[in-house]
Structure 1
């Protein structure tokens, strides 16, 4: 061959290298010949789509090691040019981080409460109420979901995220242990709507019966939740409270019962007798079952005025 070759290894992608070659004969050496080697940029990896709906999806990928000017995404026959493919929170831990990633519509998304190494979890985000960024963990709206369930089901969660559901006590514990959380309850009956906000909200471990901590009320619904502060969670098959009345059995829900309740948002839907309904005593008393209830959480440090 008219050419000599030598492979170069351990080069970095998308980098420039100056190369010199000289000839040696005994102790004599030639003048160098100089050149420049430009390595190609490496491709991005781990491409996947999250938050997929019927009309849109959010793409997520690990960026190239090389410094690049832009990424080109081709789907169908269209090309979209991005100056940067970096999300502020590539693995959002809750809906407030999804909001800061640019998601503005309420709906079901994937979050990563345990970080990028943990499994993603599907949740419903409220991006409209009081600045958005709320992770919804309970909803009552039509009575299609049975809330008179056992301990394991309340631990894991049940129902449909677009309809009625309980997100799960284990996930509630994980979410409220990551960072200090606030909590909001939205209630509606016909044309009436009220809310109760709490500046602190947390749920303890399963070993401690998912004990509730809640305080710092403000709002228009009246305070029916502080009564349940420091109470253990009870279900029909597991009631750790020392009271004579088995509250979960008597009032047909899973809840942080005391003796027994001022709020019973997981009670029987559309039941207006025996204090067994969906109840918020400070608003409608104990003989009225509220048609719509939604509970949601958001980091206490979140400032709605800085978003958008």
Structure 2
């Protein structure tokens, strides 16, 4: 396939071709992608993940492209196996850089190739989800990759076919995308443009969204050029959270770079244990400590995140949704008052729904701690002063910050910083009701999550 204009990103895959007196033998599919801005997004290599590399700086020579369009734009125009980046880390794909004819500028990302029967395609769901095969021969790129890419950019699809008599045909579709696993990776393909294989879709998803008869193979001429850049750089490891950074040998708390679907993101990693049942390696999602950062912000700010990762900040709702929808996380909340007293709460399960569902909170499994207030907010949507989901406009009238607000008087970790505990009436300050049995503004609040191994 290839991304649509400007510029095109492309994917390629293959499927069966039937013509009079012709036996299916080979086929290939290609897709281009477009984006209105077409950013040259660079996912940075985190040097801090390797014992030999010290510090948090990013290697400037480590550019990981998202698909073959990015590789083509970087100056590499030879067809072959290249490494691109995904939310799950580096992935090798075959890039068909050579034009296939009229209205084909090349730089296709091959998503499926059949050519010699060397690879078994009679596989279970999990294999088709993750991908399999040999990138220099027959392979399937993976449904999750297709969903990640086509949900972010517009792609077109090209299918190249060849029978055993040497006859060739192709089909081009202007739009190609794949739904999420929750929607059974539903296929969306439309806008037949051109080709000699007919307008019927050669890629056959069944009604159950399983892949059927995908026996496509790429034009053989594109399979044998000299392969360029086939190796994966071993020093390009992109961590998805602080647990992976910790596992790589980095055990000092501080700011590190992780990868997300939207690119690199800096977070604060609290690597040190906080006591019993705490092994460290927490990803901090909220920190209040000195009142330096304004938390009375609109929905868009809470969606994307804001603040200073070395001080006060909010990590972003979209990041929380991306991560907690893919892995199981627990959450710990650390509290401190102005007398130096400390308390914490630990919950076994924490996740956040998508923006379409108001970034609804799911928290359960209270394990230990002095305050259970947060657990009562399970099932509530996020609210800000410009987007109220509390029914009482609490974010604007009382809290003066964004949060999963159940009401206006239970907790307020993103409220105003008062530099003192107040007089018990400051409902717009930082407070957790059940720890202090009332409204007492706190000195520090930290919320952090850790993947459950």
TM-score interval w.r.t. the shorter chain? 0.5 to 0.7
Structure 2 length-normalised TM:
0.47
Residue 264 (structure 2) pairs with residue 120 (structure 1): yes
Residue 423 (structure 2) pairs with residue 276 (structure 1): no
Tell me how far apart the structure 2 counterparts of residues 181 and 48 of structure 1 sit (CA, whole Å). Answer: 25
1:111-152 CA distance string (max 9 Å, x none): 1234xxx62211110000322111001000011111111101
Structure 1 length-normalised TM:
0.68
Question: Corresponding residue for 1:237?
Answer: 386
| 1:50 to partner: Cα distance | 3.5
Question: Corresponding residue for 2:251?
Answer: 104
- Matching residue within 317, 335, 343 for 1:169: 317
| 1:218 to partner: Cα distance | 2.4
**Aligned Cα root-mean-square deviation (Å):** 2.6
Q: In the alignment, is the contact (CA less than 8 A) between 1:228 and 1:261 conserved in 2?
A: no
**Residue 186 and residue 107 in structure 1: after superposition, are their counterparts in 2 closer, same or farther (change >3 A)?**
same
| 1:287 to partner: Cα distance | 2.2
Question: Corresponding residue for 2:441?
Answer: 289
Which secondary structure state, in structure 2, belongs to the residue aligned with residue 283 of structure 1?
helix
Tell me how far apart the structure 2 counterparts of residues 226 and 47 of structure 1 sit (CA, whole Å). Answer: 36
Greater C-alpha radius of gyration: 1
Tell me how far apart the structure 2 counterparts of residues 218 and 282 of structure 1 sit (CA, whole Å). Answer: 16
Uncovered stretches (5+) of structure 1, i.e. residues with no partner? 1-45, 66-84, 302-308
Q: In the alignment, is the contact (CA less than 8 A) between 2:45 and 2:238 conserved in 1?
A: no
**Residue 86 and residue 287 in structure 1: after superposition, are their counterparts in 2 closer, same or farther (change >3 A)?**
same
| 1:267 to partner: Cα distance | 1.1
Q: How many residues align?
A: 227
Tell me how far apart the structure 1 counterparts of residues 46 and 238 of structure 2 sit (CA, whole Å). Answer: 13
Which secondary structure state, in structure 2, belongs to the residue aligned with residue 200 of structure 1?
strand
Which secondary structure state, in structure 2, belongs to the residue aligned with residue 282 of structure 1?
helix
Tell me how far apart the structure 1 counterparts of residues 323 and 443 of structure 2 sit (CA, whole Å). Answer: 27
| Greater mean alpha carbon deviation, residues 205-214 or residues 189-198 | 189-198
Tell me how far apart the structure 2 counterparts of residues 47 and 228 of structure 1 sit (CA, whole Å). Answer: 36
Q: In the alignment, is the contact (CA less than 8 A) between 1:275 and 1:286 conserved in 2?
A: no
Tell me how far apart the structure 1 counterparts of residues 299 and 291 of structure 2 sit (CA, whole Å). Answer: 20
**Residue 287 and residue 57 in structure 1: after superposition, are their counterparts in 2 closer, same or farther (change >3 A)?**
closer
| 1:227 to partner: Cα distance | 1.1
**Residue 47 and residue 106 in structure 1: after superposition, are their counterparts in 2 closer, same or farther (change >3 A)?**
closer
Question: Corresponding residue for 1:56?
Answer: 55
Residue 342 (structure 2) pairs with residue 193 (structure 1): yes
Matches within 5 A, 1:1-308: 50-51=47-48, 56-57=55-56, 90-114=237-261, 119-129=263-273, 130-189=278-337, 190-241=339-390, 243=391, 245-249=392-396, 250-270=398-418, 272=422, 273-301=425-453
